[in-house]
Structure 1
Amino acid sequence: MGRPGLSSEARPDKVIFHPSTGFCVLRKSLIEPLKLGSCTESEAWSYTPEKTLSLKNTDLCLQADELGEIAKLGIICSDSSSRWDVILDSKMHISSKLANGSTVCIDIDSNTSTI
């Protein structure tokens, strides 16, 4: 998905977009949780053949922890909680399988905009 709001001359990058709010996933720092914010401030992500969502030009990937817990960035991208399957034909939903076999999807906390 390209960056919303940028001209067609700009090089399109992939962002993690939350359609119902119109915002994208942002990283403020390594220790702060991922949050939603302006797509123009979002970093580029890549979806690898190994099904990881990685911040472009870094070794950081999106990881699921537990159901109801915040998603995080990490460097160990080979376990199942770092693999994200695109679900539904819209390609707008992704899910990951936790170590205990549970499947989780990315959602936001509407009070804090945390992922």
Structure 2
Amino acid sequence: MYHPLSGKCVMANENNTLEASDCLNRSKWSYTGDESPIWLMGTSLCLNVVGDGLPVIISSDCSSNQSTWRVVLDSKLHIAARDAQGRSLCLESNPFNSNIILTRECLCLNDDDSLCNESPPQIQWFTLISRFILTYSVCALAWFSRDSGIHEPASPTFAKTKNVPYYDAS
């Protein structure tokens, strides 16, 4: 699971909550489609919504409404589930505040949404993508030097010297 705004992936942590992390240490997820759980691969655990503004938890309760997720059709980038009160809440990662992934009321799904003025909808954009696509998209955007800790822009010349894939769309 990938968060485009931060360029990070979703990882299950030791507290059974989710956090945005570099994509090398991401957790692997399985999702069969709308109105189904999002499973932590290799386990019998899935994502559960607790409430508005609260962290998403990883739980063995995978048959309740709180573990039933859907991709919101209006944006195709919001992933939502219903809390115990029946409110539809979206995954949210605000990289400016914390790495913890929460659920909140979905932002900017219609033209008269007053929440659009409070926060950009991109903090709630997530996508489920395959490892192959993720590996290439991350490498094509930038390269992280473990030695210097500096992000350097990807380019055909730079990619050759670092032996990383590069896609030139021009």
TM range (shorter): 0.7 to 0.9
* Cα distance change on mapping 1:112 and 1:32 into 2, 3 Å: farther
1:34 maps to 2:18:
yes
TM-score, normalised to structure 2, is 0.54
1:44 maps to 2:15:
no
Identity of aligned residues (%): 34
User: What RMSD in Å do the two structures reach over aligned CA positions?
Assistant: 1.7
Q: What is the correspondence of 1:1-115 to structure 2 with a 5 Å cutoff?
A: 16-29=1-14, 31=15, 33-48=17-32, 51-88=36-73, 91-109=76-94, 110-115=96-101
- SS of the residue 1:81 aligns to: helix
Larger-Rg structure: 2
Spell out, residue by residue over 1:20-63, the C-alpha distance to the aligned partner (whole angstroms, 9 max, x if none). 1110111231x253110111211210003561101111011011
Ranges in structure 1 where 5+ consecutive residues have no aligned partner: 1-15
2:100 counterpart letter in structure 1: T
- SS of the residue 1:100 aligns to: coil
Give the distance between the partners of 1:22 and 1:28, measured in 2 at CA: 18
* Conservation of the 8 A alpha-carbon contact between 1:96 and 1:105: yes
Structure with greater helix share of residues: 2
Ranges in structure 2 where 5+ consecutive residues have no aligned partner: 102-170
* Conservation of the 8 A alpha-carbon contact between 1:65 and 1:81: yes
